[in-house]
Structure 1
Amino acid sequence: SGATLPEDDEIQTGRDYVERFLEPLARSERLRGAVREHTEVLAIGRDRLLKTDLIGGERHTHPFRLLLRANGVESTEHADVVLDCSGTWRHANALGNGGIPAPGETEAAGAIRYRLDDILGADRARYEGKRVLLVGAGHSAATALDQLRQLEGATTIWVRRSDGGEPYVLQEHDPLPERDRLNRLGNRIAGGTEPGFEVRAATLVERLTKTPSGAVRVTLAGARGEETVEVDAILALVGYRPDREIYRELQVHECWATMGPMKLAASLMASDAADCLAQSSAGAETLTSPEPGFFILGAKSYGKNVNFLIRLGLEQIRDAFTLIDGDPTLDLYEENAVV
């Protein structure tokens, strides 16, 4: 395919993964004509069926009907099998208390970034010398902390829901040295003594108000009651959720907590793996739902569970094709595999 695999000790960025692996793969001879770029799936249903028609296996006699949009033009396609690998990245969680938008959040949207910016590169001017509100306590937040501390004159107010302890769990002999470095940095900044940072643990965002100058006045609620801070930019690194709208006419059993497919969600919740690296495929059957021939794979299959790894997604694809082909011994990644 022309793709080049990274060395075992290489620290690869998302851009590296796209440019060196995904794009060459999409343009490879075997996929020629199969990849439609700039095409959005708007909805998935069953031809001549509604969600309430038939139950389970009987529905497979009616092909899937997909509503697509490309270059502003809508059309339909039919399919026997659908793999929903659309991820969660486009659908960020809200910033406010309780997981819903805070009053004023929509109005202040121009000052908020829900994904990690290129803080030391293309987006540097947005943060350098500015007062920044950072909300979140995952590894995206730790990465932002690491980059913000390298900017001249930036002051960061770090808000997180968890209490005043160390927010990052350290893994003994962590095989990922960069993760270990970020975890230790996050815990050090959480201690509240790092120059350029103000820490607000056990704190929630209650309200946002735009000011005439373009800044945002943010009302925070914490252990000391409410306080108001004024900031120039907001990084809301509070996670993502799956878009379930596109398959609302299908019979999909979902977890009430994570919003992922129920069988896989139950397997993940029952797992006692303390480190995401210790995970392995949960098996092909956990990828099935009451809707025959419909599979949710990749990050979207984990819903709001943050422990997804690309390696697991690749294993899911192999597992799904054993079901699609009806051959439990099939390994799609073998060079001479025939589906």
Structure 2
Amino acid sequence: MDFAETRKIIHLDMDAFYASVEQRDNPVLRGKPVAVGGARQRGVVAAASYEARQFGVRSAMSSAVAVRKCPGLVFVKPRFEVYKEVSRQIRSIFAEYTPLIEPLSLDEAYLDVTENLRGLGSATRIAEAIRAEILQKTQLTASAGISYNKFLAKLASDYRKPNGQFVIRPSQGLAFVAGLAVGQFHGIGPATAARLNGLGIFTGLDLRQQTEAFLRQHFGKAGSHYYHIARAQDNRPVVPDRLRKSIGSETTFEQDLLTHEQLVTGLQPCLEAVWSHCQRTGLRGRTVTLKVKYTDFQQITRSRTLLGLLPNLETMQQVAHALLTTLLPLPKGVRLLGVSLSSLETPEDTLGKQLAFLL
């Protein structure tokens, strides 16, 4: 690696973002275990404060399980418009330092500060300045990872949470990765980690000792990614204004849905939420995906791709309802329904491609 050409990448991640906003805005909640989400038996935790995490409460956990782990848990309804506004504040701070900002969600982003608007030579100093400014303007804390690529920066941001930062320098990358369990790698979930363990691969060092051909044989294209990250290599650029791959909405129901009529009624708010986003952003998609979770937590998806972009809500409803009919007769009750739209473009993108083809 030519260290003179090394990029300087920061991964900024807000600490327990939704829960921290709620604790900031309601002093009664400070120091208490807080879950943002539905308190009802069929609810789900969207976010948990650090006080709640000490009891094992995690996002995506059912509310019933969360309460068993933490009997004193305080539930708060989510206020997504407030979170979005705070997120806009945070991104305006990022923009004071670099135009190369790749948002991953409301509460995290990659920043390429190799060349920055403040003329600061140290990515560590930039991360410190950004975190201080976030705290001063929002009264919220953020953690940061600093390294020479996105993979390592993401790993580093978890290393000093909450309210800290960690640097992985070019000379440290290989050794840092070698000592990690494969399950700690961003992008390797429990199922993949178990498969790797079954092949005798437990650490980054074990992974590095495998050939790319061997990893591709067992994991397809992802095998090449594992081969490179085991060597602390990641050439992905920070891509500003990254186009979303999909738009989705889902609902967990207090009582299981048992009939086709209930499915249609239950799915309607999700369809309207997705189309509302399409109208605000100008995005359209070709692929409609239905997500279903049964009462025993078995999850399935059904998809249909059209030749052209969906023109309106009515067409999306027709496609989604057709996908619903493939579930009938229902083998068991349905506890969750969701719908997403992918293969996203703007109509202008489509027109541009058509003109390019004609020319």
The alignment's TM-score, normalised by the length of structure 2, stands at: 0.23
- Greater RCO between the two (CA within 8 Å, min separation 6)? 1
Greater helix share, 1 or 2?
Answer: 2
